[in-house]
Amino acid sequence: MVAKRRNLQTNLGGLGVKAGVGALNSGGKVLRSAGFDLPALDRESLERAARRRTGLDDLGDWPIDEPFARLLESYRNEARLSTLGRVTVRELLVSLFEQLLYLEAERARSPGIANDAIVAPVFVVGLPRTGTTLLHGLLSADPASRAPRTWEVMYPAAHPNDARGIARARRQTAVRLALADHLVPEFMRIHAIAADLPQECIAITAQVFASIQFHTTHNVPSYEDWFEREGQELAYAYHRRVLQHLQVRGPAGRWVLKAPGHLFGLQALLGQYPDARIIQTHRDPLRALASMASHATVLRRAFSDRVDPAEVAADWTARWAGALENFLDVRSGAPAERFLDVSYEDIAAAPIATVERIYGFLGWRWNEQARAAMAGFLAANPRNKHGKHRYTLAQYGLDRDTEVDRFRDYCERFDIAVRGDG
């Protein structure tokens, strides 16, 4: 399978991305017309592949049957996957089973990991495109803090915890990200990702098939409907276990975590982390909505031949508005001192000063080492480093007046001025 993945990457690079993908998808259409739907997307073959790759058998006792069955049903009936889409989905699902197997094996070898405490983690939360990524990167740049890096999230327990194992995980992550960049070159303009950059929590909870990641990348609305109705205890219980494993592997530090997706599960988050502190970012939602739609549209077009940008926008706008409303309802019943509100404008205009204010809220010591590390992060990750991401509400069929009404209560509660959509 490793050879097949390398061959796929080589073929895409040698033929040119569009030609290679086009040939693959055209061949898949011929096979489907003949009654073959390849590659297979059924649980038995996916688990078998993961067990063969890892040499492991125990997936643990995580209650993944229902989320996985619902996800698979949505992939089959709703996602409208191209052949490339089926190939990448199969690879994704097998890799998620692999990480479950590795994590359970490590826990069996070191059961004491279960006793490792996660103390007062900090979560950066807000609608997409409200500065959460920049703020997370700044906070995690402080050597005293700790954030899950992309390579750690992809391989939380798959490699020996030594220099050689870590180097191997980083190399494998870089290869996977390079292939993703070939397939979705526009994505880096929207959301930068690299092996050593901090990673979102939705990539962690995806490993038990409980994440908004799936509906972002593919059209799986029935699965997403179910996910949003669930309490998400499974997602956050697994999230805690992954943090325990990463914490034991080191380095030590204060956990700084991030995902707009936490808007969908604040009750479960607080249930798992009762001492968590929440930094909520805020921005004129009209300036974020079209970007949300663009993000999902760009990803889905890489894996499906039929993507309607207006359909994507209408769906996600309603979902994010509902998630925000539910989040704020739960927040209203939680201790106010656990939350701090930060504006996107402050993050963009004065990032270091904004972080210094956050340190005051958290009771963390502010020093020149932290300041210098954050200045270095800003220099290495300038705005629009990979090109400017352009979008408008009208481009995605969104009506300004409708969206102003939809988010009116939110904007009034946090005194957010609604200016436009660009």
Amino acid at 418: V
Q: What is the pLDDT of residue 38?
A: 62
Check whether 26 has a pLDDT greater than 80.
no
Q: What is the pLDDT of residue 2?
A: 42
The tokens describing 274, both together, are 């009762």
Q: What is the pLDDT of residue 45?
A: 96
Q: Rounded CA gap, 142 and 91, in Å?
A: 35
- pLDDT single digits (tens) 176-225: 888 877 776 665 455 567 889 999 999 999 999 999 999 999 999 999 99
* Sequence-ordered list of residues with C-beta below 8 angstroms from that of 331, at least 6 positions apart, any chain: 266, 278, 280, 339
305 versus 66: the higher-pLDDT residue is 66
Percentage of residues in the chain having pLDDT higher than 90: 73
* Sequence-ordered list of residues with C-beta below 8 angstroms from that of 210, at least 6 positions apart, any chain: 67, 227, 230, 232, 234, 235, 238
Q: What is the pLDDT of residue 386?
A: 46
Residues β-bridged to residue 145? 254
Residue 365 three-state SS: coil
- Quickly count: other Cβ atoms within 10 Å of residue 211's Cβ: 28
Among 51-65, 179-193, 386-400, name the most confident range.
Answer: 51-65
Contact 150, 194 (CB under 8 A): yes
Query: What are the sequence ranges of the domains in the chain?
Result: 118-413
Lowest mean pLDDT segment, chosen from 25-29, 377-381, 418-422: 25-29
* Sequence-ordered list of residues with C-beta below 8 angstroms from that of 353, at least 6 positions apart, any chain: 346
Percentage of residues in the chain having pLDDT higher than 70: 86
Average pLDDT, the chain: 88
Question: For the chain, what's the residue count?
Answer: 422
Confidence of residue 291 (pLDDT cuts 50, 70, 90): confident
Lowest mean pLDDT segment, chosen from 167-171, 190-194, 258-262, 295-299: 190-194
Check whether 294 has a pLDDT greater than 60.
yes
Confidence of residue 22 (pLDDT cuts 50, 70, 90): very low
- pLDDT single digits (tens) 330-388: 999 999 999 999 999 999 999 999 999 999 999 999 999 999 999 999 999 887 554 45
Question: What is the domain class of 118-413 according to CATH?
Answer: alpha beta
Q: Element (H or E) spanning 340, and its range?
A: strand 339-343
- pLDDT single digits (tens) 122-131: 999 999 989 9
Check whether 63 has a pLDDT greater than 60.
yes
192 versus 108: the higher-pLDDT residue is 108
The tokens describing 410, both together, are 């939110």
How do beta strands 277-282 and 122-125 pair? Answer: parallel
